[in-house]
Structure 1
Amino acid sequence: QSTLVWLASGIGMFVVGWAIQFVGHHYEGRKPAFVDDVTGLIVGPLFVVVELALLLGMRRDLKEQIEARVGGVRVNPKRAAA
């Protein structure tokens, strides 16, 4: 595909994602964190990138340090069955 098609589809998916986020916040009854603090616009995507990197096995030392402080991830069996 041409660059224009990729760019348009990327921007379109970005806009749809933001719309879905705002719909979710509406149903949740809470406003997005970045409304009060603009740094949320940076922290949110950074959090997702770090979580993905840890999931892919990168920075195992960092993951071990985090889990030593706060504990590992546990799945609630009652919620997992629902």
Structure 2
Amino acid sequence: MSVMEKRLQLLLDAERYALVSQEATRSGRSVASVIREAIDVRFEQAEAQTRRAAALGEFLALGPDEDGQPEDVVAALQGEFEDHLDRKGGP
């Protein structure tokens, strides 16, 4: 992570602050660190959802090959999936 460059003032209600504070205490971190992690998790999930939606669109756009054989499409998808896993370092 980069050096912290921006300061933010954030107002929380008592219930939210208690949740964040308890997690900070439990994990031995600062409240700010817990909030930064929550932001990271939230946006990582949004990015993953966007990638999944794009992949689904690509999948739904696929059809049988020139011979009308869906097996070739499945084999191609399997190959692409395996390539993706190799790039990501495995399952």
Normalised to the residue count of structure 2, the TM-score between the two structures is 0.35
User: Highest relative contact order (Cα 8 Å, sep 6+), 1 or 2?
Assistant: 2
Higher helix share: 1
Normalised to the residue count of structure 1, the TM-score between the two structures is 0.38
Rg: which structure is higher? 2
